[in-house]
Structure 1
Amino acid sequence: MKIKRYFASDMRQAMKLVKDDLGDDAAILSQRSVTGGVEVSASLDANLPRSDAFGPSGHRATLDNALAEARKKVSVAERGGAATQSSDQFGASDVASEAAVKRTLESIQSARSTAAPSRPSGNARGQQQTLESMRDELNDMKALLQQQLGGVAWGQFVDRTPQQAMFWRRLSGMGLSSTLCNQLIKIIEPQASAAHNWRRILAALARQLSTTQKNLVMEGGIFAFIGPTGSGKTTTIGKLATQYVLEHGPEQVALVTTDCYRVGASEQVKALGRILNVTVRVVDDPRRLQETVDSLSGKSLVLIDTAGLNHQDPNLQLQLSVLHEVRPMVRSLLVLACTSQQQVIRAAYHTYGKARLVGTVLTKLDEASSLGEAISLVAEHGLPVSYLADGQRIPEDVCLAKAHNLISRAVAISEQLPEDDEKMINEFAVSQRRDFQPAARYVS
């Protein structure tokens, strides 16, 4: 038996050298990491199981070796990163860790692609199961590497800038997006106290929030309340309509509902109209909305309750286009429930953001476990907040939106929740992998 050794910078080059020299029947005897790359021992001997040299079993051995090498590289990256100090937030040690992970994943992918052409043609089902098993293992290894890299990056961030890390943790605990967290921690003064910098951060966040600063509904007009099902559109209309009736009387108020899809939706508006003694119109065809609005031209306030429809429902686009075409102009208020997940809130804005929005209504503040998701959305898109609703009482539980009150409430809610370090570190790692956005300019 003749054994040869091959040296290369990575597994891909080593496997290529073996195949070019000994052919597809070569058997891999051993593989280990050395200075500058890897060392592979191979042989071409009739007594060795040649058919498995680059087949499934040989592939499995190569994969196991690559995984061992990956773990070793991550360990080295962690030790090297802990000893490296830099004034840059994303220093050279982070780059080295990223490069190590990238080379390791390339080696694993190379092992899989090299083994693929020489697999036996028989037993296709067994081969497919083997491939799926290795694919799952590769995905698990990738997730593990990313998690470990995120932990290393967070540890370096804490070591270099402990005050920024503390504020990043607190802002993330409020539910704010990583983009907003990265922007806000840029404004701290290194020599100032933590209390002073925290006040600066909250003040900057409050300035990021836009509010309408006036009671739009009390000034009269035609308003459509749009948003997902269950966001609180009908209840909000009841609160605002009651406030207007108490101040101006019922004669100048009309309620209109286009929600003929949800069971009992129109009956709820009719019951509210009877209680307030105001005019109520039910529009079962959105195309008749213009006709209905024309019949209410003598009213100083018209509130339209719309249906919450799936973004793929063609009736939704029809409803939005009709609202846009109605004259005189219909001003829309987007109603968002603070109890919704971040993906739901952002999907709602994506669906209804094309309407003629003059503001938003944030509802269910009393039930929310975090306000940061809604705050991040309106801050990042410059969407003004008009009203805050925090209960079921009519008309008490609705008020004009004030930025500092909303921020104070978000902080108070976050302080009552336990910290989730794993989620926070994962979000920090994701924010590092994205292109880092320049900090926004704030007025001190």
Structure 2
Amino acid sequence: MNIKRYFASDMRQAMKLVKDDLGDDAAILSQRRVAGGVEVSAAVDASLPRSEAFGSAGGSRGLDKALADARRKVVAAEHGLGDAEAELPRIGEASVATTDAMRQTLKSLQQGRHSAPVQAEAQPDSRSQGGAQQQALESMRDELNNMKELLQQQLGSVAWGQFVERSPQQAMFWRRLSGMGLSADLCKQLLAVVEPGMPAAHNWRQVLAALSRQLSTTQKNLVMEGGIFAFIGPTGSGKTTTIGKLATQYVLEHGPEQVALVTTDCYRVGAAEQIKALGRILNVTVRVVDNPRQLQPTLDGLSRKALVLIDTAGLHHQDPNLALQLGMLNEVRPMVRSLLVLACTSQQQVMRAAYHTYGGARLVGTVFTKVDEATSLGEAISLVCEHGLPVSYVADGQRIPEDISQARAHGLISRAVAISDQLPADDEKMIGSFALSRGGANHYSARYVS
């Protein structure tokens, strides 16, 4: 047996080193935190064929049960480690080394967890002992979190390998859809349209057609038809630039007399000056609302204007001024329609937080901005598909007014595919999303707490 030690900044990187060096059959003997990261000891039996480790497609009928047992082991580890030893996964006869290593680690964690309260009871009034106990508990939390990451890696790799063997065409499509940035749930829905026995090119067109049907877009150019629109979204998402592009397009087609710009952003330095400068360039009316009660009278005074565009402040969800701003927009309904502006360069969590923050404004559509700078469009597409929110406009540059257009589903999807084809595949992320889609996502995403 070949035993090696690996050092990395975190457990995920350490597992990648082990896999690259020893292969998928490597058994983790121990792991601990050291200065600057983690240390992992792993071993592999060079005489053991790979096919014996995880079994072939015909000889691994008990693999699904083993995966379920392993997931239950994670739950046991979170709730006391009492029954974890009895529920260790048995994935083929060749996994004895891995199973023994997991059992030893769990046993040591269990002993450490039960011994900490005994030490605390011996000297309950000792601050130094209390600090030592807290450090021990923190260390155990880290150990359990590292073990959960290890299990997620192993289960995800095993599940993905089994999926590739059973459905190679669907696995290929999953890889491409995940590379586009689409969520695991959406990928799973799209693969349901794959027809067994049909060529891959035919099925890929079916998958993209299904995505196009799920991606809703506004069928008409809302702003060009006139009305009052409020552009809301996080700071830096491109609200003011979007207003400038749409206002310029309207002025070029209908003239400046019927256009007015309103800003409620009195929180950022120079925000109102941006709108004023734009108004001077376009020769249109500009109003600054610095009091929530002034919005309704301001809009009443602009009732003769065919188009009124409202620029709002991008505020954090915990900012008390956000509630005032959303309340101000609620008071002027239904005369004001809201568009959520999302920068496609934002992380998925940022986009979801923006929707949950501003979703109560009864949105009529979204604007995708910074598309030209994005390395993935799947996160934004997944969000609007999940909530049934139509995409109204796509902005892909800084030029005013050229770099904005009405959204088209097939155009967005084609662009998402083209962007993903230019980037290297992230297999680690892809396998992780696949593992979560098979269930047990809550087990893997929750952090351990005592």
Supply the distance in 2 between the matched residues of 1:163 and 1:390 (Cα, whole angstroms).
Answer: 33
Q: CA deviation at 1:87?
A: 11
Q: CA deviation at 1:325?
A: 1.3
Provide closer, same or farther for how the CA distance between residues 275 and 163 of structure 1 changes in structure 2, counting only shifts above 3 A. Answer: same
Provide closer, same or farther for how the CA distance between residues 90 and 276 of structure 1 changes in structure 2, counting only shifts above 3 A. Answer: farther
What secondary structure, in the 3-state scheme, does the structure 2 residue paired with 1:188 have? coil
Q: CA deviation at 1:416?
A: 0.4
Q: CA deviation at 1:294?
A: 0.6
TM-score computed with the length of structure 2 as normaliser: 0.75
Provide closer, same or farther for how the CA distance between residues 89 and 326 of structure 1 changes in structure 2, counting only shifts above 3 A. Answer: farther
Query: What residue is the counterpart of 2:64 in the other structure?
Result: 91
Q: CA deviation at 1:285?
A: 1.1
Provide closer, same or farther for how the CA distance between residues 100 and 301 of structure 1 changes in structure 2, counting only shifts above 3 A. Answer: closer
Q: CA deviation at 1:252?
A: 0.6
Supply the distance in 2 between the matched residues of 1:192 and 1:222 (Cα, whole angstroms).
Answer: 50
Q: What does residue range 284-303 of structure 1 map to in structure 2 within 5 Å?
A: 284-303=290-309
Q: CA deviation at 1:357?
A: 0.9
- Confirm or deny that 1:82 pairs with 2:55: yes
- Confirm or deny that 1:312 pairs with 2:285: no
Provide closer, same or farther for how the CA distance between residues 157 and 303 of structure 1 changes in structure 2, counting only shifts above 3 A. Answer: same
Provide closer, same or farther for how the CA distance between residues 185 and 85 of structure 1 changes in structure 2, counting only shifts above 3 A. Answer: farther
Decide which moves more: 176-185 or 318-327: 318-327
- Confirm or deny that 1:198 pairs with 2:204: yes
Query: What residue is the counterpart of 2:259 in the other structure?
Result: 253
Supply the distance in 2 between the matched residues of 1:204 and 1:269 (Cα, whole angstroms).
Answer: 41
Q: Given the alignment, which residue of 203, 222, 226 partners 1:220?
A: 226
Supply the distance in 1 between the matched residues of 2:249 and 2:198 (Cα, whole angstroms).
Answer: 46
TM-score computed with the length of structure 1 as normaliser: 0.76
What secondary structure, in the 3-state scheme, does the structure 2 residue paired with 1:223 have? strand
Contact 1:335/1:360 (8 A) holds in 2: yes
Supply the distance in 1 between the matched residues of 2:306 and 2:343 (Cα, whole angstroms).
Answer: 28
Supply the distance in 1 between the matched residues of 2:254 and 2:133 (Cα, whole angstroms).
Answer: 77
Q: CA deviation at 1:162?
A: 1.1
Supply the distance in 2 between the matched residues of 1:362 and 1:424 (Cα, whole angstroms).
Answer: 24
Q: What does residue range 404-415 of structure 1 map to in structure 2 within 5 Å?
A: 404-415=410-421
- Confirm or deny that 1:347 pairs with 2:353: yes
Q: Spell out structure 1 runs of 4+ moving beyond 6 A.
A: 86-90
Q: Deviations over 1:162-191 (max 9, x none)?
A: 111111111000000011011111210110
Q: Deviations over 1:193-248 (max 9, x none)?
A: 11111100000001001111100011111000010111111111111111111111
Gaps of 5+ in 1: 1-66, 437-444
What secondary structure, in the 3-state scheme, does the structure 1 residue paired with 2:340 have? strand
The one-letter code sitting in structure 2 at the alignment partner of 1:166 is: M
Supply the distance in 2 between the matched residues of 1:219 and 1:128 (Cα, whole angstroms).
Answer: 64
Supply the distance in 1 between the matched residues of 2:268 and 2:60 (Cα, whole angstroms).
Answer: 58
Q: CA deviation at 1:99?
A: 5.1
Provide closer, same or farther for how the CA distance between residues 257 and 132 of structure 1 changes in structure 2, counting only shifts above 3 A. Answer: closer
Contact 1:173/1:414 (8 A) holds in 2: yes
Query: What residue is the counterpart of 2:8 in the other structure?
Result: none
Supply the distance in 2 between the matched residues of 1:349 and 1:86 (Cα, whole angstroms).
Answer: 47
Provide closer, same or farther for how the CA distance between residues 270 and 96 of structure 1 changes in structure 2, counting only shifts above 3 A. Answer: same
The one-letter code sitting in structure 1 at the alignment partner of 2:167 is: T
User: If you compute each CA radius of gyration, which structure gives the higher value, 1 or 2?
Assistant: 1
Q: CA deviation at 1:134?
A: 4.0
Contact 1:89/1:157 (8 A) holds in 2: no
Supply the distance in 2 between the matched residues of 1:143 and 1:93 (Cα, whole angstroms).
Answer: 18
Contact 2:215/2:409 (8 A) holds in 1: yes
- Confirm or deny that 1:207 pairs with 2:180: no
Query: What residue is the counterpart of 1:20 in the other structure?
Result: none
Query: What residue is the counterpart of 1:390 in the other structure?
Result: 396
Contact 2:71/2:440 (8 A) holds in 1: no
Q: Deviations over 1:375-396 (max 9, x none)?
A: 0000010001100000111111
Q: CA deviation at 1:143?
A: 1.8
Contact 2:113/2:137 (8 A) holds in 1: no
The one-letter code sitting in structure 2 at the alignment partner of 1:420 is: D
Query: What residue is the counterpart of 1:111 in the other structure?
Result: 111
Q: CA deviation at 1:147?
A: 1.2
Q: Given the alignment, which residue of 328, 333, 350 partners 1:322?
A: 328
Q: What value does the CA root-mean-square deviation take over the aligned residues?
A: 3.1
What secondary structure, in the 3-state scheme, does the structure 2 residue paired with 1:251 have? helix
Provide closer, same or farther for how the CA distance between residues 305 and 127 of structure 1 changes in structure 2, counting only shifts above 3 A. Answer: closer
Query: What residue is the counterpart of 1:146 in the other structure?
Result: 152
Q: CA deviation at 1:114?
A: 4.3
Contact 2:214/2:385 (8 A) holds in 1: yes
Query: What residue is the counterpart of 1:3 in the other structure?
Result: none
The one-letter code sitting in structure 1 at the alignment partner of 2:111 is: A
Provide closer, same or farther for how the CA distance between residues 93 and 139 of structure 1 changes in structure 2, counting only shifts above 3 A. Answer: closer
